[in-house]
A and B are shown apart, each in its own frame.
Chain A
C-alpha cells in the first residue's frame, strides 16, 4: 500500500486538533468529577456556549479573538458557577446518577435555546489576522491557526496539571477530593472550592469552544455529539489522573486521524470500538481507579 504522506499528515493534523478538544474536555470532566463526583453532561453544551460567547463578543461588542480567548471562558465559567450554586450543590448528597440526569437536562435547555434562535447551521468565525496563512513544512502544508490550537491546548493542559499537582491551591483541592470534611475542619472553604472547581472545568470546555470556532464554525449542536465521544475517551482513560486524561485525549485524536486515512468508514466509530476493547482487556480504564 502506497502512503500519500501529504494526505496522511493532513489527517494526522485533524486528529491532533480533535485530540486537543478531547483532552481539554476530558480534563474538565475529570477535574469536575474529582471534586463534585458528577459527570457533567452539560459539558458539550458549555463548550458550544464558549464558541457562541466569542461570536457574540465579536459581532455585538467588536471584541476580537484574543480578548475572547480569555473572556469567553471567564463568562461561561461564571455561568457554570451560578449553575453549581443554584442547582448542583443541592443534589451533592444524592446518588451520583442524579447529577448526570440534572446536567443532561441543563444540556437540553442550553442547546434547545440556542437551536431555537440560531437553527442548526453554522455561523462563521474568522481566524485572527496574526494566525492566518500557513507554512510549508516540505512534506505538508501547515495552516498556522491549526498548529496554534494544538500547541496552545497542550500548554493549557500542562498549566492545569501544574495548578492541581504542584501548587498549594491544588493541594487543597486534592485533599478536599479525598476527604472534604477533614479539609473543612482545617478552616478551608470547601463549598467555595467546589464552585471554583466547577467554574474551572466549565472554563476549560468554553476555551475549547473558542479554539474550535474558527475551524468548525459556531453551531448550537457542535457539542452534542462531541460529548459522547469524550465520554468514551473518559471511559478509556479513566478519570483517576489529570495527565492520563490529557494523554488519552491526544492519543485518541491521533488514532481517529489515522483511521480517517486508512479506513474512513470507521472514523466515526473507532473511539467507541477502542472503548469496547479497553473494557474487555482492562475494565478500570488505562489509568483509572475501579468503580
Chain B
C-alpha cells in the first residue's frame, strides 16, 4: 500500500540544509517582488493561499490526516478579523440572562488579527476533538460535514451579513506604525506574516514533535505501542494547522478588504486540497508553488466562467492518476533532495 505521503524522502541530514537554501531564495524573491513589475495584489493573494495550503499540508503531509473542511478556519478567522477591524463589538445573547454587548469600537489590525486567531483556535480545538475520533476517509467526511455546519451558521448569524459578507474593511495602521492602505507597506506586512507562518511550520516539521507526527502517519499502532499518546499529537497538529489557516484568513482580509461566504464554502476547502496536490503533498515548498500556479490560473481564466471549475476537476484527476508527487515533489525526486 502506497501511502498518500510517499513524497517525503527519508530524512537525511542534508535535507534541512536544502530547505534552508530554498528558504533564503524564496525570501529574496519575495522581497524583490515590488521592484519586478509583478502585480502585488496577485502576489499577496497567492501568499495568503500559500500559507493556507502550508497549514493544510502540515496536517495531511506530516500527520496523514486529510481535512476536507479547512475553509472553516480560514473563513472564521477572516470573518472575526473583518468584524473587529470594522465594527469591534462582541455581542452575546444568553437565554434567561439576556443580551449583553461589549463595544470596543473598530480595533487596530493587530488586535483584529489576534481576535481572528483566537476564534480559529477555539474552533479548531472543538472540531479537532470531534474529528480525530475517526481516521482516513471518515476523518475527511467529518471535517467536510463540520465545515458545512459552520457554513450554515454563518449564513444565519447577523454579524456575517449573510450573502453580502463584510465589505469595505478599513486597513488601518498596524502597530500604529505601518499604514496598510499603502500597497507597498501592505505587501511587506503580508510577506512577513507569510514568512512567519511558514517558519513556524518549518520548525514544527523538523522538531521532535514533527518526528512523532511522521511516525504516527507511517504506523499509528506502533507509535501507540511506543507509548505515544497519538490522539494528543494529532489534536495538537490539527489545532496548529487550524490556527495557521486562520492566520492566512486574517491576513487575506486586509488584502481583499472583504470577508464572505466564499471563504467558508466547501469549494474553498477543495481548492486548498488542489493547491497542495499540484504543488506536492508532504513537501515543504509544494503548497507555496501550488498556490502561485492555481491563483495565476484563476486570474487568467477568470473570463471563462464555469470552465474554471471543470479545469480544476481535470487537474485533480490528472494529478491523482499520473502526477501524485506534484511539482515540487517531482523536482525533489529528480534531484533526490528534500524540498
State how many angstroms separate the Cβ of A240 from the closest Cβ of chain B.
12
Cα–Cα distance between A250 and B307 once the two chains are bound (Å): 36
Q: Is residue A169 contacting chain B, with contact meaning CB distance below 8 A?
A: no
Stretch binding the partner chain, chosen from A92-100, A121-129, A176-184? A92-100
In the complex, per-residue mask of B293-313: 1 if CB is within 8 Å of any chain A CB, else 0: 000000000000111111011
Interface of A is mostly: helix
Selected contact of A109 from candidates B3, B4, B145, B317, CB within 8 Å: B317
Q: Is residue B28 contacting chain A, with contact meaning CB distance below 8 A?
A: no
Is B145 a contact partner of A272 (Cβ separation < 8 A)?
A: yes
Nearest A-chain residue to B147, judged by Cβ: A228
Note all chain A residues with C-beta closer than 8 A to B313: 105-110, 112
Note all chain B residues with C-beta closer than 8 A to A56: none
Note all chain B residues with C-beta closer than 8 A to A93: 1-2
For window 133-159 of B, CB contacts with A under 8 Å fall at: 133-138, 140-142, 144-146, 148-149, 152-153, 155-156
Is A115 a contact partner of B306 (Cβ separation < 8 A)?
A: yes
Note all chain B residues with C-beta closer than 8 A to A107: 313
Is A269 a contact partner of B321 (Cβ separation < 8 A)?
A: no
Q: Is residue A172 contacting chain B, with contact meaning CB distance below 8 A?
A: no
Nearest A-chain residue to B69, judged by Cβ: A228
Cα–Cα distance between A279 and B145 once the two chains are bound (Å): 12
Is A97 a contact partner of B137 (Cβ separation < 8 A)?
A: yes
Is B130 a contact partner of A276 (Cβ separation < 8 A)?
A: yes
In the complex, per-residue mask of A230-243: 1 if CB is within 8 Å of any chain B CB, else 0: 01101100000000
Cα–Cα distance between A269 and B314 once the two chains are bound (Å): 31
Is B130 a contact partner of A232 (Cβ separation < 8 A)?
A: no
Q: Is residue A111 contacting chain B, with contact meaning CB distance below 8 A?
A: yes
Q: Is residue A275 contacting chain B, with contact meaning CB distance below 8 A?
A: yes
Is B4 a contact partner of A105 (Cβ separation < 8 A)?
A: no
Is B266 a contact partner of A108 (Cβ separation < 8 A)?
A: no
Is B324 a contact partner of A228 (Cβ separation < 8 A)?
A: no
Is A105 a contact partner of B320 (Cβ separation < 8 A)?
A: yes
Selected contact of A112 from candidates B3, B144, B309, CB within 8 Å: B309
For window 152-177 of B, CB contacts with A under 8 Å fall at: 152-153, 155-156
Is A232 a contact partner of B134 (Cβ separation < 8 A)?
A: no
State how many angstroms separate the Cβ of B145 from the closest Cβ of chain A.
4
Q: Is residue A2 contacting chain B, with contact meaning CB distance below 8 A?
A: no
Nearest B-chain residue to A228, judged by Cβ: B148
Cα–Cα distance between A108 and B267 once the two chains are bound (Å): 9
Given contact pairs A97-B140, A232-B145, A276-B146, A291 touches B135 in the complex (Cβ within 8 A): yes
Note all chain A residues with C-beta closer than 8 A to B310: 108-109, 112-113, 116
Nearest A-chain residue to B316, judged by Cβ: A105
Cα–Cα distance between A225 and B4 once the two chains are bound (Å): 26
Note all chain B residues with C-beta closer than 8 A to A225: 148
Nearest B-chain residue to A95, judged by Cβ: B4
Selected contact of A105 from candidates B153, B156, B317, CB within 8 Å: B317
Is B133 a contact partner of A90 (Cβ separation < 8 A)?
A: no
Note all chain B residues with C-beta closer than 8 A to A228: 144-145, 148, 266
Note all chain A residues with C-beta closer than 8 A to B140: 39, 97, 100
Q: Is residue B253 contacting chain A, with contact meaning CB distance below 8 A?
A: no
State how many angstroms separate the Cβ of B328 from the closest Cβ of chain A.
17
Q: Is residue B243 contacting chain A, with contact meaning CB distance below 8 A?
A: no
Note all chain A residues with C-beta closer than 8 A to B261: none
Note all chain A residues with C-beta closer than 8 A to B291: none
Is A235 a contact partner of B142 (Cβ separation < 8 A)?
A: yes
Note all chain A residues with C-beta closer than 8 A to B1: 93-95
Is B142 a contact partner of A116 (Cβ separation < 8 A)?
A: no
Nearest B-chain residue to A42, judged by Cβ: B313
Cα–Cα distance between A98 and B318 once the two chains are bound (Å): 12
Additional A-B contact list (6), CB under 8 Å, known A96-B136, A102-B321: A101-B277, A102-B316, A228-B266, A269-B153, A275-B145, A291-B134
Interface residues, chain A, with chain B CB atoms under 8 Å away: 33, 38-39, 87, 90-91, 93-98, 100-102, 104-113, 115-116, 225, 228-229, 231-232, 234-235, 265, 268-269, 272-273, 275-276, 279-280, 283-284, 291
Pull 7 A–B residue pairs with CB atoms less than 8 Å apart, ordered by A.
A95-B2, A95-B3, A97-B136, A101-B316, A101-B320, A106-B317, A269-B152
- Counting from the closest, the 4 A-B pairs by CB-CB distance are A105-B316, A108-B313, A109-B313, A112-B309
